[in-house]
Amino acid sequence: MNQPSTPRARIGVAGAGAVFDAYARGLAWYGDLPIVRVADIDVGRARAKAELHDIPAYGTPEELYADPDVDVVVNITPPVAHWAVTRDALAAGKHVYSEKPIAATVELARQNLEQARAAGRVLAGAPDTFLGTAGQTARAAIDRGWIGRPFAATSFVRSSKVETKHPDPGFFYQPGGGPTLDWGPYHVASLVNLLGPVAEVVGTSTIASPRIVVTAPDRVVDEVEVSVATTTASILRTVSGAIVSTLYSFDIWDTTLPHIEVYGTEGTLNIPNPNRHDLPVQIKRRDDAEWSELEPVLAATCDPQVRLFRGHGVNDLVESLRGAPLRVSGEFALHVLEVLEAIEQATFAGGVRTIKNLTGQPAPAAALSILK
């Protein structure tokens, strides 16, 4: 972890839920992006996080927006609240970084982006995990031609088994949830980083079980009703011409399939879980007898013992205010959301869905000064 220094930006966090600790750890790693206020509609939860992480102020979301000491609002409220929280933070003159998805729908995300442009504020969004060591090492391998021309990829998500861990996992199985919007953002963002934007989507989906039994030890409900697709399958075609096969599921309990593989004319990359962004990337080229690990192009971006770590995207936003490329722009997040929305809504009868909100491929981040 870096030693504290003069802040590059002062951070306020809206939302004191489970992912807050990951942001607190990640921003503390940088040393100069202090969280100065945490807010939640449940002020008691905000107070608890403030005390746990030695944050000087806490209170309601309205107090957060009005705080002149806050430069950037990090929106980690539930997805259904993202649009309103971002709207209010932008209206208060703050830059905003939103957790995924940037809004519950593409249309709401567009409204936030238009507001940010009109206000002259920066709106950025998760996922940011492709900025970690694994994502950037894989990107460097592709850019350097180590697997030749990438022409295809696979992207696979199995069940996160949330019902065995979360006391009330109903929102994972309601609109705004499901494997495509829960895990899919990490995979699609990673794929766009590696292969460029997606042009077309075709696919289908199913619900394996209409009700899910909750077995978490501290559960407050015994079962939840399912109203979103819990397994989706799709084919994506990128602007570059590469094709990607995806299978995102809350129903597949175990598997031996990799999270992401990219296939090139001269070899294959095996890329780890996008959430574990410091795990090694493996390569096997045409004439190789065995798989080998690639040398990382970035130093480890977090303590290897810390599984959940967030903050690279917030740092990316802050650096963009100083003239650096913005890799996790709102436009990038909107593109990812439109792809995910297309996957969720795709049917064979509906045919191919064309993605309208295209984005540029994010600039490589190998030069990022992660460790100050």
130-167 pLDDT, tens digit each: 999 999 999 999 999 999 999 999 999 999 899 999 88
Does residue 212 share a domain with residue 106?
no
- Sign for the CA dihedral angle at 139, 143, 148, 152 comes to positive
Contact 314, 28 (CB under 8 A): no
**Per the domain annotation, does 325 fall within a domain?**
no
Does residue 102 share a domain with residue 208?
no
**Per the domain annotation, does 283 fall within a domain?**
yes
23-62 pLDDT, tens digit each: 999 999 899 999 999 999 999 999 999 999 999 999 999 9
Q: How far apart are the first and last CA of the chain?
A: 9
Q: Which of 125, 148, 179 is the last residue of a domain?
A: 125
Does residue 74 share a domain with residue 209?
no
Please give the tally of structural domains in the chain.
2
Does residue 149 share a domain with residue 119?
no
CATH of the domain at 229: 3.30.360.10
- Which pLDDT belongs to residue 369? 44
Does residue 35 share a domain with residue 151?
no
**Per the domain annotation, does 335 fall within a domain?**
yes
- Which pLDDT belongs to residue 371? 38
Does residue 146 share a domain with residue 219?
yes
Q: Which helix (H) or strand (E) holds 315?
A: helix 312-320
**Per the domain annotation, does 304 fall within a domain?**
no
The band of 370, judged by pLDDT with boundaries at 50, 70 and 90, is very low
Q: Which of 84, 107, 125 is the last residue of a domain?
A: 125
* 101 preceded by a cis bond (ω within 30 of 0): yes
Neighbour tally for 70: CB within 10 Å? 27
Tokens of 362: 């994010």
239-297 pLDDT, tens digit each: 999 999 999 999 999 999 999 999 999 999 999 999 888 889 999 999 999 999 999 99
Does residue 292 share a domain with residue 152?
yes
**Per the domain annotation, does 278 fall within a domain?**
yes
CATH of the domain at 44: 3.40.50.720
Q: Which of 70, 92, 125 is the last residue of a domain?
A: 125
* Containing structural domain, residue 65: 11-125
**Per the domain annotation, does 302 fall within a domain?**
no
Mean pLDDT to the nearest integer, 223-230: 95
**Per the domain annotation, does 58 fall within a domain?**
yes
Cα angle 353, 233, 190 (rounded to 5 degrees) comes to: 80
Least confident window among 41-55, 225-239, 288-302, 312-326: 288-302
Torsion of CA 175, 180, 182, 184, to 10 degrees: -150
Does residue 119 share a domain with residue 63?
yes
Does residue 251 share a domain with residue 176?
yes
Mean pLDDT to the nearest integer, 213-223: 95
Please report, as a single letter, which amino acid is at residue 33. L
